[in-house]
A = this chain, B = another copy of it.
Amino acid sequence: MSATPYQQLEQEWKRLHAFRGALALLRWDAAVMMPKGSAEIRGEQLAALETEHHTLLTSPRVSRLLDRAQANTQGSSDWQLANLREMRRQRDHAIATPVSLVSRLARATATAEVKWIAARRGNDFALFAPHLEEVLHLVRDKAQLLGQALNLAPYDALIDEFSPGVTMTDIDAMFKALSRRLPTLIREAMALQQKTPALPITGRFPVAKQRQLVVELMKAFGFPFDGGRIDDSEHPFTEGVPGDIRITTRYDAEDLFSGVLGALHETGHAMYDLGLPREWRDQPVGRDRGMAIQESQALLIEMIVCRSRPFVRYLLPLLAKHFGVSGPEWEADNVYARLARVQRGLIRVDADELTYPLHVQLRYELEKKLLSGALAVRELPDAWAQFMRERFDVEPATMQEGCLQDIHWAAGSFGYFPSYALGAAIAAQLYEKLRDSVAGLDEQIARGEFGGLFGWLREHVHGFGAKLPTQELLKLATGKPLSAAATLRYLEGKYLEDPASRSAAA
Residues of chain B lying within 8 A (CB to CB) of residue A243: 37-38, 40-41
Chain A residues numbered 397-437 whose CB sits less than 8 Å from any CB in chain B: none
Segment touching B, from A226-234, A265-273, A328-336: A226-234
Q: Are A37 and B229 in contact (CB under 8 A)?
A: no
Q: Are A25 and B21 in contact (CB under 8 A)?
A: no
Residues of chain B lying within 8 A (CB to CB) of residue A280: none
Q: Is A19 an interface residue (CB 8 A)?
A: yes
Q: A44-B14, A52-B52 are in contact. Are A227 and B35 (CB under 8 A)?
A: yes
Q: Are B18 and A45 in contact (CB under 8 A)?
A: yes
Other-chain contact of A25, B18, B29, B40 (Cβ < 8 Å): B29
Other-chain contact of A42, B15, B19, B36, B244 (Cβ < 8 Å): B244
Instruction: Report the nearest B residue to A23, measured CB to CB.
Output: B22
Instruction: Report the nearest B residue to A44, measured CB to CB.
Output: B18
Q: Is A26 an interface residue (CB 8 A)?
A: yes
Q: Is A122 an interface residue (CB 8 A)?
A: no
Q: Is A191 an interface residue (CB 8 A)?
A: no
Q: Are A35 and B225 in contact (CB under 8 A)?
A: yes
Q: In the assembly, what is the distance between CA of A153 and CA of B36, in Å?
A: 46
Q: In the assembly, what is the distance between CA of A301 and CA of B355, in Å?
A: 62
Instruction: Report the nearest B residue to A34, measured CB to CB.
Output: B244
Other-chain contact of A37, B17, B21, B49, B227 (Cβ < 8 Å): B227
Q: Is A455 an interface residue (CB 8 A)?
A: no
Nearest CB on B from A325, distance (A):
29
Q: Is A451 an interface residue (CB 8 A)?
A: no
Nearest CB on B from A349, distance (A):
28
Residues of chain B lying within 8 A (CB to CB) of residue A224: 37
Q: Is A394 an interface residue (CB 8 A)?
A: no
Residues of chain B lying within 8 A (CB to CB) of residue A44: 14, 17-18, 21, 282
Residues of chain B lying within 8 A (CB to CB) of residue A21: 41, 44-45
Give the most central of A22, A34, A37: most B CB within 10 Å. Answer: A22
Q: Are A35 and B226 in contact (CB under 8 A)?
A: yes
Q: In the assembly, what is the distance between CA of A273 and CA of B37, in Å?
A: 16
Residues of chain B lying within 8 A (CB to CB) of residue A37: 224, 226-227, 243
Q: Is A173 an interface residue (CB 8 A)?
A: no
Q: Is A33 an interface residue (CB 8 A)?
A: yes
Residues of chain B lying within 8 A (CB to CB) of residue A34: 244
Nearest CB on B from A457, distance (A):
22
Residues of chain B lying within 8 A (CB to CB) of residue A36: 226
Instruction: Report the nearest B residue to A24, measured CB to CB.
Output: B45
Nearest CB on B from A53, distance (A):
10
Q: In the assembly, what is the distance between CA of A213 and CA of B14, in Å?
A: 45
Instruction: Report the nearest B residue to A40, measured CB to CB.
Output: B243
Q: Are B41 and A22 in contact (CB under 8 A)?
A: no
Q: A22-B26, A48-B19 are in contact. Are A33 and B227 (CB under 8 A)?
A: no
Nearest CB on B from A280, distance (A):
14
Q: Is A485 an interface residue (CB 8 A)?
A: no
Q: A26-B25, A44-B18 are in contact. Are A35 and B241 (CB under 8 A)?
A: no
Nearest CB on B from A239, distance (A):
12
Q: Is A47 an interface residue (CB 8 A)?
A: yes
Q: In the assembly, what is the distance between CA of A37 and CA of B14, in Å?
A: 19
Q: List 27 A-B contacts (CB under 8 A).
A: A15-B48, A18-B44, A19-B48, A19-B49, A21-B44, A21-B45, A22-B22, A22-B26, A22-B45, A22-B48, A25-B25, A25-B45, A29-B29, A33-B229, A35-B225, A35-B227, A35-B229, A36-B226, A37-B226, A37-B227, A38-B226, A38-B227, A38-B243, A41-B241, A41-B244, A49-B49, A52-B52
Counting from the closest, the 8 A-B pairs by CB-CB distance are A18-B48, A37-B226, A38-B244, A37-B227, A41-B243, A18-B45, A22-B45, A21-B45
Known interface pairs A15-B48, A49-B49; 14 further A-B residue pairs with C-beta atoms within 8 A, sorted by A's residue number: A14-B44, A18-B44, A18-B45, A21-B41, A25-B45, A29-B29, A33-B33, A33-B229, A35-B229, A37-B224, A37-B226, A37-B227, A38-B226, A38-B243
Interface residues of A (CB under 8 A from B): 14-15, 17-19, 21-22, 25-26, 29, 33-38, 40-42, 44-45, 47-49, 52, 224-229, 241, 243-244, 282
